[in-house]
């Protein structure tokens, strides 16, 4: 098999479709390099003293793990020097990080969840990094949070890395979804899947069922119908998976279909779910739609949501198209 690297793939896309400006290509390569460094740190585990709590909290009051902080720093440092960026925003930082002395002038805004699946770090279960790229608005001088308030439809690139049995990087620039596997000996991202497509139908769902008693009626009905199996209204048996790392759950869905749900619930009705729009929902929705799937918050397409704040949370239903449409329709009844 001819080996195609991430750089070769991006140059080819640029040549064929004239879609990826070289500045965006360089930015993606820098993020890819940062993910290699994070993968390396993750792989050291206890030997690298990277496990456990950092003894601090992030802006959302969540306890930060050492790897949350390390991954954030790796991404910040790599992109300060390497990308064509004006500013970055991270799940782990209260406000945006402007690039000092931008030269050449930064044209892009980068958002990331540096380490997704934090509760799995210390137990050696797959974790990852999620990122999203927007164009800086025309005429922007000094970047501010307001410049990030663009709906997901405006993303020019999105991707995630999974640090699992293999380290993979999944990427879209709006021209399909492609997967690269890290060749650990060579330190290279090698194209291993092109144009990934999510099957429209599935018999597998992912939800944290421990929250069941708090679910709102549409989610309860949808899950109950699946649990009823062959003798219920769906007339077939469903299987359930919940890894508690969104990256790993989404990666499974890209590969064999399924629906992933993190709904809002009755505990804090004004809090729309757990996941973050800018760092988790938008990039994953872009990837899933590019792979032929769908992503909604139960009421509308995630990519159409007009963000109002950087750390905004949102309910998420994504994956196989027919299932996402079904649970969304239950919210409308």
Ligand X SMILES: O=P(O)(O)OC[C@H]1O[C@](O)(COP(=O)(O)O)[C@@H](O)[C@@H]1O
Binding residues for Mg(2+): 91, 113, 115-116, 280
Cα–Cα distances (Å) from 87 to 114, 115, 155, 218, in that order, read 15, 19, 15, 39
Indicate which single residue of 56, 166, 208, 299 sits in contact with ligand X (rule: CB under 6 A): 208
Neighbouring residues of 126: CB distance < 8 A, sequence distance ≥ 6? 117, 120, 162, 163, 164, 165, 243, 245, 247, 248, 251
Helix %, strand %, coil % of the chain (to 5): 40, 25, 35
The smaller minimum CB distance to ligand X, of residues 54 and 188, is found at: 54
The distance of closest approach from Cβ of residue 280 to Mg ion in the complex, given in angstroms and rounded to an integer, is: 5
* Calpha distance 118→92 (Å, rounded): 12
The smaller minimum CB distance to Mg ion, of residues 76 and 191, is found at: 76
- The helix/strand/coil state of 172 is strand
The smaller minimum CB distance to ligand X, of residues 35 and 136, is found at: 35
117 near ligand X, rule: CB under 6 A: yes
Indicate which single residue of 29, 107, 116, 297 sits in contact with Mg ion (rule: CB under 5 A): 116
User: For strand 85-90 and strand 63-65, is the pairing parallel, antiparallel, or unpaired?
Assistant: unpaired
Q: Using CB under 6 A, which of the segments 34-42, 112-120, 156-164, 190-198 binds ligand X? A: 112-120
**Residues in binding site for substrate:** 116-119, 208, 274
Residue 244: other Cβ atoms inside 10 A: 16
113 near Mg ion, rule: CB under 5 A: yes
The distance of closest approach from Cβ of residue 320 to ligand X in the complex, given in angstroms and rounded to an integer, is: 17
**Residues in binding site:** 91, 113, 115-119, 208, 274, 280
Indicate which single residue of 71, 72, 118, 320 sits in contact with ligand X (rule: CB under 6 A): 118
Q: Using CB under 6 A, which of the segments 47-55, 193-201, 240-248, 317-325 binds ligand X? A: 240-248
* Calpha distance 246→314 (Å, rounded): 14
CB 167, CB 33: distance < 8 Å: no
249 near Mg ion, rule: CB under 5 A: no
Closest by CA to 205, choosing from 249, 264, 247, is 249
Neighbouring residues of 300: CB distance < 8 A, sequence distance ≥ 6? none
323 near ligand X, rule: CB under 6 A: no
The distance of closest approach from Cβ of residue 253 to ligand X in the complex, given in angstroms and rounded to an integer, is: 12
Residue nearest to ligand X according to CB distances in the complex: 246
Q: Using CB under 6 A, which of the segments 77-85, 114-122, 294-302, 325-333 binds ligand X? A: 114-122
212 near ligand X, rule: CB under 6 A: no
The distance of closest approach from Cβ of residue 307 to Mg ion in the complex, given in angstroms and rounded to an integer, is: 17
243: tokens are 């890894």
* Calpha distance 106→151 (Å, rounded): 20
Q: Using CB under 5 A, which of the segments 1-9, 17-25, 87-95, 164-172 binds Mg ion? A: 87-95
38: tokens are 């994070």
Residues 255-314 that bind ligand X (CB under 6 A): 274
DSSP per residue, 179-220 = EEEEETTTTEEEEEE-S----S--SEEE--GGGGGGB-HHHH
Indicate which single residue of 72, 245, 290, 328 sits in contact with ligand X (rule: CB under 6 A): 245
The distance of closest approach from Cβ of residue 236 to Mg ion in the complex, given in angstroms and rounded to an integer, is: 31
**Which run of H or of E encompasses 4?**
none
State the residues that interact with ligand X by CB under 6 A. Answer: 91, 113, 116-119, 208, 244-246, 274
State the residues that interact with Mg ion by CB under 5 A. Answer: 91, 113, 115-116
């Amino acid at each position: 098999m001819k080996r195609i690297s991430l750089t070769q793939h991006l140059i080819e896309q640029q040549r064929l479709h004239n879609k990826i400006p070289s500045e965006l290509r360089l930015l993606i390569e820098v993020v890819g390099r940062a993910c290699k460094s994070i993968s390396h740190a993750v792989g050291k585990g206890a030997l690298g003293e990277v496990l456990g709590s950092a003894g601090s909290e992030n802006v959302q009051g969540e306890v930060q793990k050492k790897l949350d902080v390390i991954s954030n720093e790796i991404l910040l440092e790599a992109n300060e020097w390497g990308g064509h960026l004006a500013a970055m925003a991270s799940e782990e930082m209260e406000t945006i990080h402007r690039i000092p002395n931008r030269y050449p002038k930064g044209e892009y805004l980068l958002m990331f969840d540096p380490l997704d699946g934090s509760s799995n770090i210390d137990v050696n279960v797959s974790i990852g990094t999620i990122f999203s790229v927007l164009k800086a608005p025309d005429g922007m001088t000094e970047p501010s949070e307001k410049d990030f308030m663009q709906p997901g439809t405006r993303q020019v690139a999105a991707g995630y890395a999974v640090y699992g049995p293999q380290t993979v990087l999944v990427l879209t620039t709006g021209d399909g979804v492609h997967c690269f596997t890290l060749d650990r000996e060579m330190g290279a991202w090698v194209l291993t899947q092109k144009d990934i497509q999510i099957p429209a139908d599935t018999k597998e769902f992912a939800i944290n069922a421990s929250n069941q008693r708090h679910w709102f009626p549409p989610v309860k009905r949808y899950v109950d119908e699946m649990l009823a199996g062959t003798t219920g209204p769906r007339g077939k048996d469903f299987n359930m998976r919940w890894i508690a790392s969104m990256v790993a759950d989404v990666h499974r869905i890209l590969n064999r279909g399924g629906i992933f749900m993190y709904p809002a619930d009755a505990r804090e009705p004004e809090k729309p779910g757990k996941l973050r729009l800018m760092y988790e929902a938008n990039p994953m929705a872009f990837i899933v739609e590019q792979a032929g799937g769908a992503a909604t918050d139960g009421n509308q397409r995630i990519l159409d949501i007009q963000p109002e704040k950087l750390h905004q949370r949102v309910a998420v239903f994504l994956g196989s198209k027919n299932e996402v449409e079904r649970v969304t329709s239950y919210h409308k009844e």
